[in-house]
Amino acid sequence: MLDGDYVRRAVAEFVGAFALIFVGAGSGVYGNILVAAFANGLVIAVMVSAVGFISGGHFNPAVTLGFLVTRRISAALAAVYWLAQLGAAALAALLLRWVLPAPATLRSGVPALAAGLSSGKGVVIEAVLTFFLVWVIFATAADPRGTFKQIAGLAIGLTIVLDVLMGGGLTGAAMNPARAFGPQLVDDRWANGWVWYVGPAAGGVIAAVVYELLYLRPPRPAPVGPPETGVEEPAPGEAAGS
């Protein structure tokens, strides 16, 4: 029903990405890793469950890139998704800057590297965490054997939780260029900014391609079994008696 309906799909992506940045980045005001992990995980679980059937529930340019590379989304629709995701992130971050108390602007959601952590290590951490996220998305949402209608939102949300619990204190565990872009743009803080674009993009593409090749590509045709006569039929393309 929504084939070619870019507007309604884009609105779903916009609302989901806006919710992620507003709730996820806004939870940083409490300075508690558990609060941040569950805030980010719950908002994704809810939004994927709510509108996943409309847009796929990407809310993340790295996820959309994985779907584009594996040809599960058109380039035109991917571009629309990226505009919606990044625009929503900027608007959510701008609203946060306005509503949060002044001291909270020091923790307004801009991801940062832990003291002593190099940008190279930060990229690897973001790539690995995003790999887990996109792997779970493909397994639960893209794979027709998955459980999209039942638990995809829950599984994806819990993946966000475990990723933030591991990487939140190291890189901020953005796993999402939009999650980094909105706060960076509004606060004009771009130190080591490439970490939160290269890392998620690399991790997302690797996960998407590996899952696609291993589990979603059609298997090679099975050899034709012997008929009732007991004479083995030649495989397609083989000459009889060869």
Q: For residue range 149-195, what is the model confidence (pLDDT) as tens digits?
A: 667 899 999 999 999 999 999 999 999 999 999 999 998 889 999 99
Residue-level pLDDT at 241: 40
Q: Using a CB cutoff of 8 Å and minimum separation of 24, what contacts does 110-113 make?
A: 110/172, 110/180, 110/183, 110/184, 110/187, 110/189, 111/171, 111/172, 111/173, 111/174, 111/179, 111/180, 111/183, 111/195, 111/196, 112/171, 112/172, 112/191, 112/192, 113/170, 113/171, 113/192, 113/195
Residue 105: pLDDT above 60? Answer: no
How confident is the prediction for the chain on average, in pLDDT?
87
Q: Is the distance from CB of 66 to CB of 205 less than 8 angstroms?
A: yes
| Token code pair at residue 6 | 């870019």
The reported pLDDT for the residue numbered 221 is 59
Q: Which residue has the higher pLDDT, 228 or 80?
A: 80
Superfamily of domain 6-216: Glycerol uptake facilitator protein. (1.20.1080.10)
Q: E strands, 67-224, where? A: none
Token pair of 181, please?
A: 């872009």
pLDDT band with cut points at 50, 70 and 90 for residue 30 = confident
Among 52-66, 89-103, 123-137, 195-209, name the one with the lowest average pLDDT.
Answer: 89-103
What pLDDT does 219 receive?
A: 62
Per-residue model confidence (pLDDT) at position 147: 61
pLDDT number for residue 145: 80
Task: Please tell me the distance from the alpha carbon of residue 2 to that of residue 9, in angstroms, as a whole number.
Answer: 8
Q: Is the pLDDT of residue 64 over 70?
A: yes
Kindly indicate the confidence band of residue 46, based on its pLDDT and cuts at 50, 70 and 90. very high
- pTM here? 0.87
Task: Give the pLDDT mean for 47-53.
Answer: 93
pLDDT at 235: 43
Q: Residue 97 contacts by C-beta under 8 Å, 6 or more apart in sequence?
A: 105, 108, 186, 187
Task: Give the model's pLDDT for residue 19.
Answer: 98
- Does 127 score more than 60 pLDDT? yes
* Overall average pLDDT of the 189-203 stretch: 96
* Six-digit token string for 148: 């999209």
Q: What is the pLDDT of residue 229?
A: 46
| Three-class DSSP category at 189 | coil
Residue-level pLDDT at 239 = 40
pLDDT surpassing 90 at residue 14: yes
Q: What percent of the chain has pLDDT over 90?
A: 71
From the centroid of its chain, how far is CA 158?
13
Sign of CA dihedral 25, 26, 30, 35: negative
